[in-house]
Each structure stands twice: as C-alpha cells, then as structure tokens.
Amino acid sequence: MTTSWPETVAQARRLRHDLHRRPETAWAEHETAATVREILDTAQIHWRRCADTGTVATLAPQASGRHVALRADLDAMPIAEQTGLPYTSQIDDTMHACGHDGHTATLVAVAHWLSAHRDALPGPVTLLFQPAEEGGHGAARMIEDGALAAPDPRAPAVDVIFGWHNWPALPYGLALCPDGPVMAANGTFGVELHGRGGHASQPEATRDPVLAAAAVTVALQQVVARRLAPQAPAVLAVTSLEAISAATVTPDRAALAGSIRVPDLTVRDEVFAAIEQIATATAAAYGVHAEVNTAARYGATVNHREPAAELRAALHATFGTGWDRHAVGAPVMASEDFSYYLEQIPGAFALIGGGPAAPQRTAALHSAHYDFNDALIDPVARLLIALAGAPPPPAHDITAS
C-alpha cells in the first residue's frame, strides 16, 4: 500500500477519473462498490456490505476514544454528459453530474492514510460508502442496515458523523458550515388535470386541461409569495408540463409536476396543503378536475452545534482565514439525505467551494457540463483525516487547479 501522500492523492485523482468514465445510478452502483471494496482489501481495511451496494469499513474498532464516521456517496445521475473531457462518461445517458465520483475518491485517499496510521487513531473510525443519495434514500437504508451500529460486540456505536458536498457556486477555498440547517427539506408534487377534449375550432364544446394547467402553474407561484412569511425561505418550481395532442385537437388530459424546497417539515406540510387547495380550486374554475399527489423526500440537513464548530475549526485550519467570507446564506435550497444521519446522531455537514474565483463561472451541479474539481481531493482529505484524529499528511501549499 502506498503511504506517500502525494502519490495517495494522485491515485485518488486517477480513481476519480475512472469512476467518472463508468458512472452508475442509484442502487446500481455494483462496479463502483466492487472497486471500493477491492481498494479496501488492498489497504487491509475490514469492511462489510451494507444496503446492497453500500460499504461500511471500520479502522481501530477497539480504540478507546469516540467513534467517528465519515461518509461519501457513490451514485451518478441519468444525464447525458456534454463535457468533452478525456474521461467523459462511457455509459449512455448517465454521468457523475454531482461530484460523487470526487467524494468517493477523496474518502478512498482518507482510507489509505488512516490505514497506514491506524495505530495512532484515538478512537474507531468508520467510513461509509453510501449508495443512492440522488433521491434513493440511501442513507436511510444504510442506517436500517446498521451503518451506525457497533462494528462488533466489543466496540462502541458511532458517536459523531461528518460529511461534505462540493459546491461549485462557491469559489475554491470557501465553505458553508452553519449551526442548524445547512440544506433544505424537499418534496415533489404532481397535478393531473382531466377535462373534455375536442376540436380546436369548438372551444365551447371542450373543457380545456391545457389552459387549466397553465393557470395552475401561474397560480402555484403565489404559495411562496403569499402563503409563507417572507422570513421563511422556500422554493416551489413547476419543472414539467405535459399535454400531448395534435395542433388542432384539445386533449382530454394535461399534467404538471415539480418540486419544493423548504427549511423544515412544518413548512413542507403547509406548502403541500396549499398546492392541493390551489390546484383543485383553479382547475374547477376552468371546468376541469384536478388530482393532486405530493411526496415528501428528504428532511432538512441540520448541523449539531458542537460538531459544526469542530468542522469549522478544521475548515479554518485547512483553508485559512477567510474561508467563510462569502454571501451564500444558509440553508441553501438543495437537499441531501445526509439529513437521515443527523436525525440519528450528532454530526455536521459542510458545502465546500470548488468553483473558480469570480467573475468566472463554472457549470452547476446536475448540469451536463459539470465536472468535479480535482483540486478538492487533497485539502478535503486532510480535513477528514483531522476530524478522524489521525496524524496529518505532510504540509504543503494548497492551491486550486
């Protein structure tokens, strides 16, 4: 096993590019899981399968200090890549558009270093390689399968957990790690509108679901503007509208769907109730019947005070003074299933900037043009190593690529 830190980082970068070439979506991360497990075997780190394509690896299980868990997510997204990179996805309509390839490679670098220094660990360290973060509730399944439990009867359960996500909207070297909510809760909704179709030349003989769908789309914008207090951050987005028909035919049916982002579950319930009321009433005004379906997804990702303070201290030590000088407020309206872990045990989550300095711009997460910034592997691995309590890798200047 390589113990040279520069070579460990270089290996992680190569691994990241390899994972990027062969992405796998939620609950299909079989090759990714096999690669991670093979690396853990090479590093002589004990692991077990968890939630099928997930992996739980533990070092120093008998150490007497607190038990720290560190998490990376594995899954890619159903997006056709358009980056043109030398290591572009080789899988049709699938790409690592959220940087989970980078998260996994970074935790693998941490695993190599911790394995070489396991005798110096003050307490057990568990590495969670989690599947299905992208809407698959992978964290919940990992917890159900004992990811936070004691690795054996003589060892303690996990005491604290830390996680992170690359954030291209923040320049490299900046980060967000508040006490309390760091990312929002989310949910989805769908509205199916049933009318009466007919010839476009006879509108009086129809009950037009297309017109009703347009009116419902506009009316739903008042939920955030007029149903919630201005102090409550929220996003409601209609993201699809379907009304398939010919140019001269009014269809019988139209449908729209979208998502919401809110700071807490109480507000989510209020927004869901308002969506149903507004969509139903608006459709009725157009002589159309509406069927509304709502679905809760992830809760808010809420940092615990003491772990968040510890993570901020590690960010300061890694990136230096000024790491938190930015205008991004918390919570951001994206969501994360790391929320499940923080509902179970103390922990903290950070968004760590991977974008270029202003005024340059980089592709956003979930974009077909996005790519993870490899310059994050070194400093974030150092940060996680520090949180695990291991000796630090050799110091050198950290610069963005």
Residues annotated within a binding site for Mn(2+): 98, 100, 134, 165, 366
DSSP conformation class of 225:
I
Q: Where is the binding site, in residues?
A: 98, 100, 134, 165, 366
Instruction: Describe the crossing of helices 100-116 and 30-42 by its angle, rounded to 10 degrees.
Output: 20
Residue 347 one-letter amino acid: G
Strand partners, 192: 255, 291
Strand order in the sheet with 175-176: 47-50, 54-59, 125-130, 68-73, 160-171, 347-355, 175-176
- Gyration radius of the chain's alpha carbons: 24
DSSP conformation class of 72:
E
First to last CA, the chain: 27
Per-position DSSP letters for 19-69, written without gaps between them: HHHS---TT--HHHHHHHHHHHHHTT--EEEETTTEEEEEE-TT-SS--EE
